[in-house]
Amino acid sequence: MLSRRAFTRTDLLVIIAVTAIMAGLVWIAVTSFKGSMRRAGCESNCRQLMCAVSLYTGDFQGFFPPNPDDGNSIPGYNWCSGRAGIGQEHEFNHDILRDPKRSLLMAYLNGKVALFHCPADRRTGKYQGRDPALLGRSIAAARTYSMNQAVGTIDPGFDATGQAGKPAIIHRGVPNLSVNGAYLNNLGNHRRNSPWCTYGKTSEINALKPALLWVLIDEDSKGLADAAFAFEMEGADTPWGGPMWIEASGTYHNGGCGFAYADGHSEVHRWLSSSRKIAGRRTFITKPQDMKDWAWVKQRTSARAQ
C-alpha cells in the first residue's frame, strides 16, 4: 500500500510564511505603484498650472498674476483666492477656485479645479460649499499648491496698506507692481528688491534663470492658508538665531515635495530630511540634513538684487 504523509503543523507554518512573504511583496509593489502614480499626477498638475501662468503672462504684457499673500477673494486681485488650511472656510470648498474672476488662473484651466490639489495630499472632509449635488458628501481638499512669495504682482492699494498674511485695507488699481516678499528678510517687512529680488514680470528673472526659480510648491497642510508661500532667506549669521521654515513645504511624496519652475518644468524633489518640516516663528532649523534642504530651497527662491 502507498504510504500517506499527514499534513503537519510545520507544513502549515511554511505555507503561512510563504503566503505572508508574497502578500508583503504584492503590498510593496502596489504601494510603490500608487506612489509613482501620485508623483506623476503632481508633476502633471504643476505643469498644467505653469502653462496657465504662461498664458496669463502672455495676455498681460509679461506680468505674473497677483499674489498678494492675504487670501483675498476680491475679483481681479488674486491668482488663487481663499484660505484652504486645516479647519479653514475653503479647505473643502472648490467653489472659489472655479470662479475665474476670483482665481485668475482658472480662465486658462477649463474649470479643472482638481489641478490645484496634489494627489498625494490625502485630506478628505465634508463639502463646505453650496453646490446641491455635493452637499453632505466627503470630498478631497480643495488646494495643496501655493506660489512663491517672491513671485507675482500686487496692486497700488495693497502696496500702500496691506501686510503679509492679513487682509489689505483696500485693493485698488492695476496689479502691476512686483510683490514685496515680506518674509524674505526674516522680519515680515521686506520691500521689493531690497535686498532680495522679487519678480513681477518674466523679464525681471535675471539673477536666477527661469529653470532655477520655483513658482509653485506643495505646501504642508498644517501651514496652508492663503496661496502665497513665505520663505526666509537669511541664514545663520542673523542676530535672531538662524534660519527657520516660516511656512512648511510638503513631504507628501515619500519624503519629497512637488515644485514647478518659471520655465514650465516640474519635479518632485526628495528631501534629505524626510521627516515633516516644522514651521513657525523661532522654530530654528537644527538638524544638518534639514539645513541642507533649507539651503536648497533658498538657492531657488530668490537672489540678492544687483
Q: Kindly report, residue by residue over 7-60, the tens digit of the pLDDT.
A: 677 767 777 777 777 766 555 544 444 557 778 999 999 999 999 999 999 999
**Cα angle for residues 8, 11, 15 (degrees, 5° grid):** 145
> 128-140: per-residue pLDDT in tens?
999 999 999 999 9
Q: Which of 20-34, 225-239, 245-259 has the lowest mean pLDDT?
A: 20-34
Q: 169 near 68, Cβ under 8 Å? A: no
Structural domain harbouring 144: 11-301
Specify the pTM.
Answer: 0.87
Residue 48 CB coordination number (10 Å): 18
Residue 29, pLDDT score: 47
Query: 236 or 144: whose pLDDT is higher?
Result: 144
Residue 306 maps to a domain: no
| pLDDT value for 257 | 96
Is 6 part of a structural domain of the chain? no
Mean pLDDT of the chain, nearest integer: 89
Residue 260 has pLDDT above 50, yes or no: yes
Report the pLDDT value the prediction gives residue 34, as an integer from 0 to 100: 59
Asked if residue 135 belongs to a domain, the reply is: yes
Structure confidence at residue 106 (pLDDT): 97
pLDDT at residue 240 tops 70: no
Q: Name the percent of the chain lying above pLDDT 90.
A: 69
pLDDT band at 211; cut points 50, 70, 90: very high
* 5 assigned to some structural domain: no
Of 56, 217, 81, 244, whose CA–CA distance to 150 is shortest? 217
Is pLDDT at 281 greater than 80 in this prediction?
Answer: no
The span from the CA of 164 to the CA of 231, in Å, is 12
Per-residue pLDDT reduced to its tens digit, 140-186: 999 999 999 999 999 999 999 877 666 667 899 999 999 999 999 98
Q: What is the pLDDT of residue 280?
A: 82
Residue 4 lies in a domain: no
**Which residue spans within the chain are E strands per DSSP?**
124-126, 138-140, 145-148, 153-154, 177-178, 214-218, 228-229, 256-261, 266-270
Does 206 reside within a domain? yes
Least confident interval from 78-82, 101-105, 282-286? 282-286
Mean pLDDT of 55-76: 95
Q: Measured between alpha carbons, how far is residue 124 from residues 17, 33, 139, 142, 223 in Å?
A: 36, 22, 5, 9, 17
Inside any domain, residue 97: yes
Domain count, the chain: 1
